[in-house]
Structure 1
Amino acid sequence: MKKLKYKDEVATRYTAYNSLFLDLPYDHIYRTGTLLPILEQLSTQGFENGKDPVEIINQFKREILGDKEEKQLHQLLFQLIQYVERQVLLFDSIEDAAFEKIFNVEGKGSVKELIGRVRHTNKIEELQEKLKTFSVRIVLTAHPTQFYPGNVLAINTDLEDAIRKDDLASINSLMLQLGKTPFINKEKPTPYDEAVSLCWYLENVFYKSIPAIIYDLVEELEEPWEDWVNPDLLTVGFWPGGDRDGNPFVTHNITVKVADRLRETILKCYYRDLRAIRRRLTFKGVENKILEAEQHVYNALYGDKSKGFKQPEELIDVLREALHNLRNEHKGIFSELLEKFILKVRIFGFHFSIMDIRQDSRKHDALWEDILSNEDDKSIVAQYEKMQEEDKINHLLSFNSLPHDVSIYNDFHQEMLKSFDALEEVKKRNGHRACHRYIISNCQSALHVMEVFQLARLKLSSDAYESLDIVPLFETIDDLANASGVMKQLYEIPAYREHVKNRGDKQTIMVGFSDGTKDGGYLRANWSIFQAKEALTEISREYGIKVIFFDGRGGPPARGGGNMHDFYASLGSKIEDEEVQVTIQGQTISSNYGKVGSCRYNMEQLLSAGLENHLFESDNRMLNEEERELLSQLAEIAYQLYKDFKGHDKFTSYLGDVTPLKYFGDTNIGSRPTSRGKKGELKFEDLRAIPFVGAWAQMKQNIPGFYGVGTALHSLKSKGKGKDVKQLYRDSLFFRTLLGNSMQSIAKSFYPATAYLSKDEDYGEFWQLMKKEFDLSKDELDDISGKKGILHEAPVSQASIAIREKIVLPLITIQQYAIQKLREGVKDEEIYKKLILRSMFGIVNAARNAA
């Protein structure tokens, strides 16, 4: 039924609207549009018949251009790339316009469906109690993988609206605009540019979606507006401007500038709302209060800031005076307008979004070495290096102030120290909620946490320090395994335990899916994270601490993406789930949270998933010992295979020489370097997860999303445990979701495009390893799901992926053609490099969660 609906609302419409491109009055567009299906057909048939990309493109050249020079061919290929880019955006717009018709927005996972079940099971009081403390935080990160520049995203929004209304004239006009609008950024964005881009989503999507969900809850539960005690039920986090990990362009000045932009953006939203409210509340004693609020917000924005509101509580006080008068003197007419607006101010404050500061633990190590080397006793560094970890921590805690003036440290370390000043300034300007976390990436020890803890004590005022959460981020397989031991050590340090107590006996811990998968492969990473969360929950409960898990996820399954509702609904009682916190980035922001409808749907999915664990206990969320043993065996087998693959002597060189990895830095989509290491030096440990996963996605090989899954499943089957694994698949929502997300990675793979590499002198054997595991994984996943086919439980995703892959097939052929020509050795390398780079845009955009 869903597949049929999708065909009517998306596939058929795309076919109709796509034909409009041919009528646009641009040079070559008709020719390009009519030649594109020829290349698509040649690609489909060619790959089926075992032809390589160069053979396919050469055949295309012979049939279309005859004896014309290569220059004409390359010109045509660039025109085809541009045409496909616009087809992809059109398809995005059509899918977005059909969102509410394709997905049942009031079905499974929605607030309405949840409350219906709660009423049916007489659990309203339990829900009301849980809503007082529960929270979902969507954290928008500074890792963009969205290749559309802002002006193209604006066209996408307008086009979606026109398609929704079947406004053919507007559609035609927008496609006319689309034909002439560049799809690439000429310059790399700054961290501030990234923040401004994401502010668009805050202002136009989250500002509408979050209050709407809470309004529905208040009304469904029939609670007075003033009794809603949890304005933090749904919040948005923000990394641009605060995430320093590997980004030298993020400075303390940028942090403050971004915070100011967030404050300015929310005040603009309030100002618009107040002007609209004043048009209704024209009553004596009420209008003047609304006008007073409006004027103070205006002053805080544009006028004499000394006469503007400094804190949201000041605005709320004026609004409550107006509300009191409205109820007492005017029978509460239109009072809901004010009640809703007051709740909105309580939700967003003057900070709009909660900024996080993040830095790599190795940078803190180096900073403390610099600090210690400036002590009066110059031998202290050598002594410190020989100390046990506990002694090192005690030594750091013995400092009452930083030795000497900070100006004596090197420039980078001075900047690191100034990040604490920036954190304090943001708190001062926008409130304590505005910036209350310092995240330590690559955290491997209690010392790494205490280094930041002591810096915060020495640099921050008591108020800022006491309202700061220090968050370790555990990423690699080894770090995840050691995480509970690290936290136990921390909880036994009196100074740190006292700090956690002052933070409400809550400890936030971040786990990184992206680097976990990169380090240990798909199954091992996901199972390691699951086990780490159980162990961290257990040790935290022993010390009377409630742990808050913050999941560092990317878009694709290889980086923790995929179906998140089922993932969070499957955790069980051994994993603390007081809050759901998750990073959202790149295309996942625009595709899942880019419109009010899709944003509401996906936020409600996360909200209901988290609440379900408390309200509806289910056996399929709890793993018994036999099931845990099966998962451990599967994870270990997959891990060993992935480790061997990663240790292959061609692994790193393949990424550097064959895949488009090296071109990610030239795409001008993000401010961060693609690697933490030195430029030109490719080391696996320095590779960032986005270009790592993205490179495999460009090759349509998607290694991080499935490698080892097939071998693990087949191995247990050969040991007579096939029935047990199938039973686990039926009974465990966690395992079913894990494999379902891996199916998505396989559905987006296309190995025939790179089959020519099987004969490559350097990488033939390496490619065969990948292809063998791909075939095995596909077969085993098909078998475990009852031979219903990949993604059988997600018909909409299945249909969407199929169409998107068909649209982008010509780009895959062009990109692989260019890669193949470069490997053969050509004179004009630059033109082929440009073909690779330009093809990347459409391939990534079509996938919507490619990196």
Structure 2
Amino acid sequence: MLKTRHDVCRPQAVYIHAKGGFEMAPVSNELLRRDVRMLGDMLGEVMTEAAGPEALALVEEIRQLARRRRSGDHTAEPELAEKIASLSMSDARIVARAFSIFFDLANLAEDRHRIRVLRSREQELHPVSLSESIGAAIGRLKESGFSAAETQRAIDKMLIELVFTAHPSEAKRRSIRAKLRRMRHALQELDRTDLLPRERARLESRIRTELTVLWQTDFLRPSRPTVLEEVERGLSITPRLWEVVPQVYASMRLALDTHYPGEGIRPGLFLRFGSWMGGDRDGNPNVTAPITKQTLVWLRERAISQHLALTKTMYDFLSISVREIDADSTLNKGLEEASQKWPGLAEALSELAPLEVYRRWVTMIRWRLSQSSATTSCTSIPEGGYRDGEELFADLKAMQDSLRSHHSRLLADSELQRWLDLTTVFGLHLTRLDVRQDARRYREVMTEILSVAGIVENYADLPEAERCAALSRSIPWDHDLDREKLSPLALETLDLFLVLRDAIAVFGPSCIGGHVISLTQCPSDVLNVLWLWRWAQSKAVRDSSVPTTDELRIIPLFEKIDDLRNAPETMTSILEHPLYREHVTRVGDRQIIMVGYSDSTKDGGYLAACWGLYQAQSGLQQVAHDHGVQVTFFHGRGGSLGRGGGPAARGILSLPPEALDGTLRLTEQGEVLAERYDDTQVAFRHLEQVTWATLVASALPGVQVKPSWLSMMETLSVQSFKAYRELVDQPGFIAFFAAATPIDEIENLPIGSRPSRRRGERTLGDLRAIPWVFSWTQNRCMIPAWYGLGTALSEVKYKDRTAWQTICEMYRLWPFMQATIDNAMLALAKADMYIAQHYSELAEDPAQRQVCWELIARERDRTRQALLDLVGGSELLSKNPWFQGSIEVRNPYIDPLNLIQIELLRRRRSLTPEAPANEAEQLRDMLRLTVQGIAAGMRTTG
């Protein structure tokens, strides 16, 4: 028996995790205690069997020492340090694996209990809607006086797109995720009240078996995944999406029928999904044009296979005979015309009973889907195949209309409506693939191309106005380019745009979400992409390929502080360029603009980034309005608080009211995919919370933001930015960061296909935000999510009490300020300066360490005190004792993993060149193991 279970189960320590947000549990915690007790017992048994009773005793000894240290026993600290320093590599491995697996099990139990809480709450509230649900959103509209027509317009305007990215922050192997998923399902089954003893024994045996295999499984990937393996990993969540999305749409219909009975309000497309996996080549040379083409084909094949499975279900279901109930004549007419057009279909229909019209119609759909899946490229679709989801939708709608008009409305509005919803959301592409590339790369490419084409020399060195002029006079370029004179990067870029052209022409524009341009700084960055797209279109005519009049959406990404500050001016210049304005007109006068939370935070610190993003959106919305353009903001949020993470609904509510017109795109990154989509009930809750927040924030009036609030935020932002840059610009800071965090180990983790630096430079600017945040999370400092805030607040608090009252008012009334402060408070509560100080002692230069560490420690104290003064209470989360308790309980289990990691870092860095190669390799693997364990305990990576 693993005794650690008892403390995690203390009632006051129970919390319900919601990936950055938490919900109080109104139901008994006994079931949670039961689950953790059972899982803890099983882990202890597995450990004893695999490693012996002495292994379990060692884990328990270290846990008790960590508990004593946390409870204030000063004698425990040196004992714990000595114990960890004396661990052999094999013992350290056992301890790290034990605590890591225990966190995985505790997380499973907590997630399961969260679902119980939600179900219990919904049951108790019925018929009142659960808070933050779709029913609650529609109820708010009705209470606010919205007529049926106004509600219909609000829903018609809403379009949420969640975009899955392959950012390397999912530390767990896919095989381990699968084992944990199966254990989660078994836990769910154990809640059944009608279980027989033998059934319960079978489920417990299944969990024990999975746990045994988990203990015997290598937690570490042997190598980095390929891009296509990342695509496969992303596709692994689609079965849950396929199950959940119709539930979300059904919830919307139920809410509308409840609050607006008989009004006939119906939702259209308000939710869909995108992906960067296989398309994001920003800093990842492994993403090539053939990879992107293969990804597009795979996405189509997976969607078609899901639809084909539905045809079998519907064929069995719709055994209706026109001898008993009539069908629309349009069905028979359509079947006749299709049979004449496609002989293969006529043969497939020849064996079916002529009176079973619906089965014949489903057979036609199945035949056409089979034809659609026969393509292995983006160049053509076999005869009779569907081009896109709209064609499939039309066939399904014809069948639904017939059923509705012939006394079969229940059939039409149940199973068939589910299929229609899936077709609306997923089409024949499953997720819309985005492409992303660094603007600087395209500047290099266009410099080559324009030179080879004889248009202009030294394009990259020209002033911005001359660059735009060179592009303008050569769009569209309808001449061939000499490929032998171009570099591999330029050739790959040209091939990419040909792939995009073919995909849009053959599969329809819905298969591509858009082209994101990282680090957009000037109009020519956008015109570069337009030039390449127009070249690809003109080449289709020259090569007799399938031409397309559909457009590629071009999405500028503003992410650094200065770029965000200049974004309105930059976007003004872009929209005033005649060629680009014509392009926007052709995509319906709607521009997607992406704002990056990760790099802006790394560049300017937490508060400056939050405010810079808010201001940029507000300014960009005004620019779009002035130019007669609607704007959809694409929010590049990460999973962690230091990268714009936290509760998604809270983030949406904190957006500038004028910048949310019902549409938004939002990235779902790394470990967030598993946290939010591995369980269908958690996925449903997440999707309905996002829908609730978007509808409420876009349709109902928000808080009137006072000018004094804006002025105060500008003041706070300036002070915060100054404090943050003082730290990161400190001489020797990069060396301190490298020594005081496991950044080297994180950069080399085989958890993503792309390098951790955009251009391979050893600078903070080139380091990606994920390993930056990941490293500070591992050493428990968490500075990306709070540093600089304390200085900014203290400057006001001690100098101007009236201004301080303004800040208190802002926090009380303004959702943006509430989200900013609450997320920082949550991050600071999870930080641990004592552990972080141990990491700082790894720095070899004592003077350098002292300067950097004192800056961090003082800012932490300032921030903590300022937050307490603002929010009230004696502890950061005193108003959330359940979450505060959960942190206090987890700390004794995370602490040993941190201390083991520090010891391993010390050992690895002290290795001499003469040390055996296997010793360095063993230390590297052990460090990676501690990284995964700490991530499981913190429930976040980067």
Q: Which residue pairs with 2:752 in the alignment?
A: 670
One-letter identity of the residue aligned with 1:151: S
Task: Out of 421-430 and 239-248, give the one that drifted further.
Answer: 421-430
Within a 5 Å distance, the mapping from 1:344-493 to structure 2 comes to 344-376=422-454, 380-382=456-458, 384=459, 387-399=462-474, 400-401=477-478, 404-460=481-537, 464=548, 466-493=550-577
Partner residue, 2:681 = 597
Question: Does 454-463 or 512-521 show the bigger shift?
Answer: 454-463
Q: CA deviation at 1:307?
A: 5.2
Per-residue Cα deviation, 1:492-522 (whole angstroms, up to 9, x for no partner): 1111111111211111110000000000000
Q: Does 1:525 align with 2:609?
A: yes
* SS at structure 1 position matched to 2:940: coil
Residues 290-369 of structure 1: pairs in structure 2 closer than 5 A: 290-301=362-373, 306=383, 308-327=385-404, 331-332=408-409, 334-336=411-413, 337-369=415-447
What does 1:64-463 align with in structure 2 at a 5 Å threshold? 73-103=88-118, 106-125=129-148, 126-166=150-190, 167-202=203-238, 204-222=239-257, 231-283=268-320, 284-301=356-373, 306=383, 308-327=385-404, 331-332=408-409, 334-336=411-413, 337-376=415-454, 380-382=456-458, 384=459, 387-399=462-474, 400-401=477-478, 404-460=481-537
**Paired residues for 1:42-61 under 5 Å:** 42-46=65-69, 56-60=80-84
Partner of 2:790: 710
Q: Secondary structure at the match of 2:776?
A: helix
Secondary structure of the 1:237 match is: strand
CA distance in 2, matches of 1:397, 1:121: 50
1:465–1:290 Cα change, 3 Å = closer
Contact kept in structure 2, 1:568 and 1:610, CA below 8 Å: yes
What is the match of residue 324 of structure 2?
none
Could you report, residue by residue, the CA deviation over 1:9-30 in whole angstroms, capped at 9, with x for unpaired residues? 5456324421211122632154
In the superposition, relative to structure 1, how do residues 326 and 225 fare at CA in structure 2: closer, same or farther (>3 Å)?
Answer: farther
Do the aligned partners of 2:739 and 2:840 also contact (CA within 8 Å) in 1? Answer: no
Structure 1 residues 748-757 or 74-83, which shifts more? 748-757
User: In 2, are the aligned partners of 1:146 and 1:587 still within 8 Å (CA)?
Assistant: yes
Q: How do residues 619-658 of structure 1 correspond to structure 2 at under 5 angstroms?
A: 619=703, 622-658=704-740
- Identify the residue that residue 65 of structure 1 maps to in structure 2: none
Partners of 2:893 and 2:223 in 1: CA distance? 28
Deviations 1:614-635 (A, max 9, x none): 333243xx32111112211111
The answer for the alignment partner of 1:843 in structure 2 is 934
Distance (Å, rounded) in 2 between the aligned partners of 1:493 and 1:529: 25
Deviation track 1:446-495 (CA, whole Å, cap 9, x = no partner) reads: 11111111111112369656421111100111000100001111111111
**More divergent stretch after superposition (483-492 vs 288-297):** 288-297
Cross-structure match for 1:578: 662
The 1:701/1:464 distance shift into structure 2, 3 A limit, reads farther
For 1:551, the aligned partner's letter is: H
Q: 1:184 & 1:229 partners in 2: Cα distance?
A: 48
CA 1:587–1:358: 2 relative to 1, 3 Å: same
The residue type paired with residue 658 of structure 1 is: A
CA shift at 1:268, angstroms? 1.7
Q: Report the Cα distance in structure 2 between the residues aligned to 1:430 and 1:50, rounded to whole angstroms.
A: 67
Per-residue deviation, 1:690: 0.6
Compute the displacement of 1:413 (Å): 1.1
What's the offset of the Cα at 1:3?
5.4
Structure 1 pair 834/321, CA: closer, same or farther in 2 (3 Å)? closer
Give how far 1:765 is off: 2.8
Preserved contact between residue 53 and residue 817 of structure 1 (Cα < 8 Å): no
Structure 1 range deviating more: 515-524 or 50-59 = 50-59
Name the aligned partner's letter for residue 691 of structure 1: P
SS of the aligned residue for 1:246 comes to coil
**Contact 1:356–1:439, Cα closer than 8 Å, also in 2:** yes
1:29-55 Cα distance to aligned partner (Å, 9 max, x none): 543333213212323445757799997
Tell me the amino acid that sits aligned with residue 396 of structure 1: L
Shift of 1:613: 2.5
Residues 228, 664 of structure 1: CA spacing in aligned structure 2 closer, same or farther, 3 A cutoff?
farther
- Asked whether the 8 Å contact 1:638–1:711 carries over to 2, the reply is yes
Question: Is 2:856 the partner of 1:833?
Answer: no
Question: What TM-score do the two structures reach when normalised by structure 2?
Answer: 0.84
Following TM superposition, by how much is the alpha carbon of 1:824 offset from its aligned partner in structure 2, in angstroms?
5.7
- Alpha-carbon offset, residue 411 of structure 1: 0.8
- Contact kept? 1:758, 1:765, Cα under 8 Å: no
Determine if the alignment matches structure 1 residue 694 to structure 2 residue 799: no
Paired with 2:875 and 2:854, the residues of 1 have a C-alpha distance of 24
Relative to structure 1, the CA distance from residue 220 to residue 729 in structure 2 (aligned partners, 3 Å threshold; closer, same or farther) is closer
Could you tell me which residue of structure 1 aligns to residue 198 of structure 2? none
* TM-align CA RMSD: 2.8
Q: Count matched residues.
A: 834
Counterpart of 2:764?
684
1:658 Cα deviation after fit = 3.4
Q: Distance in 2 between matches of 1:92 and 1:624?
A: 42
The DSSP-based 3-state class of the residue aligned with 2:570 is: helix
Kept in 2, the 8 Å contact 1:457–1:465? The answer is no
The answer as to whether partners of 1:350 and 1:431 remain within 8 angstroms in 2 is no
2-structure distance, mates of 1:672, 1:723: 47
- Identity among equivalent pairs (%): 25
- Aligned partner of 2:196 in structure 1 is none
Please report how far the alpha carbon of residue 729 of structure 1 lies from its aligned counterpart in structure 2 after TM superposition.
1.3
Change in CA separation of 1:403 and 1:373 when aligned onto 2, cut-off 3 Å: farther
204-213 or 12-21, larger mean C-alpha shift = 12-21
Counterpart of 1:27 in 2: which secondary structure? helix
SS in 2 for 1:510: strand
- Matched residue, 2:823: 741
Classify the secondary structure of the residue corresponding to 1:232: coil
Instruction: Give the match's secondary structure for 2:160.
Output: strand
TM-score, normalising length: structure 1: 0.92
CA distance in 2, matches of 1:30, 1:602: 42
2:640 paired residue among 546, 549, 556: 556
157-166 or 217-226, larger mean C-alpha shift: 217-226
Contact 2:164 2:276 in 1 (8 A): yes
- What are the Cα deviations for residues 315-347 of structure 1, in whole angstroms up to 9, with x where unaligned? 334434443554455644622222331232122
Q: Secondary structure at the match of 2:645?
A: coil
2:816 maps to 1:730: no
How many Å separate the matches in 1 of 2:408 and 2:690? 39
Q: Structure 1 836/173 Cα, relative in aligned 2: closer, same or farther at 3 Å?
A: closer
Give the 3 Å change call, closer, same or farther, for CA 479–800 of structure 1 in structure 2: same
The answer to whether the 8 A contact 1:677-1:683 is kept is: no
In structure 2, runs of 5+ residues without a counterpart are 1-22, 123-128, 191-202, 321-355, 376-380, 541-546
Aligned residue for 1:772?
858
- The structural deviation recorded for 1:788 is 5.5
Deviation string for 1:379-413 (max 9, x for gaps)?
x424x456432222111121233563234211111
SS in 1 for 2:169: coil
Work out the CA distance in 1 between the residues paired with 2:358 and 2:263.
19
Amino acid at match of 2:187: I
Specify every segment of 5 or more residues in structure 1 that has no aligned partner in the other structure, as ranges: 63-69
The one-letter code matched in structure 1 to 2:657 is S
Pair 1:329–1:530, CA change in 2 (3 A): closer
Q: Partners in 1 of 2:798 and 2:32 — Cα distance?
A: 43
Displacement, 1:758? 5.9
Contact between 1:21 and 1:33, CA under 8 Å: does it hold in 2? no
| 1:263-297 alpha-carbon deviations (Å, 9 max, x no partner) | 11111211222212222211221122223322332
Q: What is the alpha-carbon distance in structure 1 between the residues aligned to residue 452 and residue 575 of structure 2?
A: 30
Determine the C-alpha separation between the residues in 1 that align with 2:252 and 2:103.
37
- Which 10-residue stretch deviates more, 566-575 or 837-846? 566-575
